[in-house]
Structure 1
Amino acid sequence: MNFRTSVVASIVTALFLGGSAVAQERLAFGATNSQSAHYAYFAALSQIVNTTYPEKYQASVVETGATVDNLKRMSRSQLDLGLVTTSTLYQAYNGTKEFEGRPIESKLLWAYSLAPQDVITLRDQGYETLADLEGQRMGPGMRGSSTETTSEEVFELFGIKPDWVRGTNAELANAIKDGRAVGFVKSAVGTQFEPPRVCRRLQLLRDWSHDEENSAV
């Protein structure tokens, strides 16, 4: 089974340091879903910190709902630093959109990847344009992520109103499998849709079991 992708927007994925965070012996790095390539990046980052400063820091990766979730956790001092997209970081810093009246003091450490957002639908459903998704059940992205927020804003800008289905990436994939959604929006890494196993999961979702997929990838 095949699917098609359409690039909706390109945003920069970055690292953000919460203004209230204080260097401690234990550091919590907020990442995203554990199946994402971005999570692997943070796992490697924590390993570098632990190897370079073994007597000073013990860093660990926390699986989260990505940008928006990370920002909220950092504002509560539950994370020391984390993944964000620069568009949402701007909103949080200035107290706009979802952060209206609740700005989060922030410091951008560095940007490490472009993150285009792909609209994924099953090819055999016959969707050709974004306008075809009007009224259709679609996942805007993982719940609590910047992808979710940006997807809603972009579709609103185009005057298109899908029937949004909320959930984690796994829940959205299951929604496609069960026919409860026709597709979803997923951030990529660089210029490629990621991770490859997610592509294969979508392509073969209705034919393979989870165990078969894991053994084949």
Structure 2
Amino acid sequence: MRTIKYAVAASLLATAPLAAAQQLSIATGGTGGVYYPIGGGFAEMINDHIEGADATAEVTGASVENMGLIMRGDADLALALADTVYQAYNGTGDFEERQIENIRALASVYPNAVQLVTLADSDIESLADLEGKRVSVGAPGSGTELNARALIESNGMSYDDFNPQRLNFNETADAIRDGDIDAGFWSVGPPTSSILNLAATRDIRLIGFSDEEIANAQESEPVFAPYELAAGMYDGMDEAVQTIGIPNVLVVNSDMDEELAYQLTKLLFEHTDELIAVHPAANDTTIEFTMESTPVPLHPGAIRYFEEVEADIPDRLRQ
């Protein structure tokens, strides 16, 4: 168990059996990203530790699609980017005509990093150099596309300036490798398997963003924050690269049973080491990160757990 500043009980997670058997669906993303292994890891934790629950991770189009799945009750839990969650809850951006007020958060799990990748011998060295190029902006209905578009448009460009391709992570990596596109965006917890695999077969370069480009993006999307990709993260990456990060949120429907939401939140934070073993992105799964980064109110069951461990819960998360 990880040590945090809150008074988390030192005993192993003990849960009462659920009143009835629960089949839980966790909406994730594509297999080439981080959502799927994180969701799969959490599903295994649920199956191992919560009596009466049977969880399965589902491959989806990621953030935007996942909001609809939660709204309709077609998924019980979902991972999604904070900006997507914020827009869905408030009825802004892509959700202007379909506000989803029944979203509640259990936690913020880890930050994504927007990663713009090209081949090392490409003439693309900056965001502006995408003009006239073939660029993957992420799968349709993904948080990657929302992030890419916000970054591009806040810096005076649009899809009209290049040839946008809507590919998932694995498709993007394959298309860059094969020369079918010139560059691609990922918004995912680093390092991610699809970029690691690409870097193992081709020399790649990650494109950094200037302070001005990051400031412009933050003005457009307040959930963006400066983020540094460490040197050596991928083969051939000799220097750190400046980009932007966005929290990833574990969300549920507001109608979820309070006891179940409590047990899920307790499990996440008292067995975080099991999730870290699945993917290193979970090193950022802390109560502090949840309190600082979560963009929508918490589920009452999650609040119950955070009160139990004496977390300092901001008023904005208690609505």
TM range (shorter): 0.7 to 0.9
Q: Which amino acid aligns with 1:29?
A: I
Partner residue of 1:115 out of 112, 125, 131: 112
CA–CA separation in structure 1 for the residues paired with 2:45 and 2:151: 37
Stretch moving more, 146-155 or 161-170: 161-170
Partner of 1:173: 173
Question: Which secondary structure does the structure 2 equivalent of 1:124 belong to?
Answer: coil
The Cα offsets for residues 172-191 of structure 1, whole Å up to 9 and x where unpaired, read as 223223422101011242xx
Partner residue of 2:191 out of 180, 183, 193: 193
The Cα offsets for residues 152-197 of structure 1, whole Å up to 9 and x where unpaired, read as 11101111233211122222223223422101011242xx4323x5
Q: Which amino acid aligns with 1:82?
A: A
Partner of 1:3: none
CA–CA separation in structure 1 for the residues paired with 2:91 and 2:34: 29
Question: Which secondary structure does the structure 2 equivalent of 1:125 belong to?
Answer: coil
Partner of 1:147: 144
What is the TM-score with the length of structure 1 in the denominator? 0.76
Distance 1:163 1:115, change over 3 A: same
Q: Rg: which structure is higher?
A: 2
CA–CA separation in structure 1 for the residues paired with 2:95 and 2:176: 31
Question: Which secondary structure does the structure 1 equivalent of 2:121 belong to?
Answer: helix
Partner of 2:92: 96
The Cα offsets for residues 13-69 of structure 1, whole Å up to 9 and x where unpaired, read as xxxxxxxxxx96211000111232332111111111111223x21111001111111
Q: 1:138–1:165: 8 Å Cα contact kept in structure 2?
A: yes
Stretch moving more, 120-129 or 31-40: 31-40
Q: 1:118–1:193: 8 Å Cα contact kept in structure 2?
A: no
Distance 1:24 1:144, change over 3 A: farther
Q: Which amino acid aligns with 2:112?
A: A
Partner residue of 1:156 out of 153, 161, 164: 153
Gaps of 5+ in 1: 1-22, 207-217
Q: Displacement, 1:135?
A: 2.1
What is the TM-score with the length of structure 2 in the denominator? 0.53
CA–CA separation in structure 2 for the residues paired with 1:169 and 1:205: 16
Gaps of 5+ in 2: 1-19, 204-319
Q: 1:187–1:194: 8 Å Cα contact kept in structure 2?
A: no
Larger % of strand: which? 1
Q: 1:187–1:193: 8 Å Cα contact kept in structure 2?
A: no
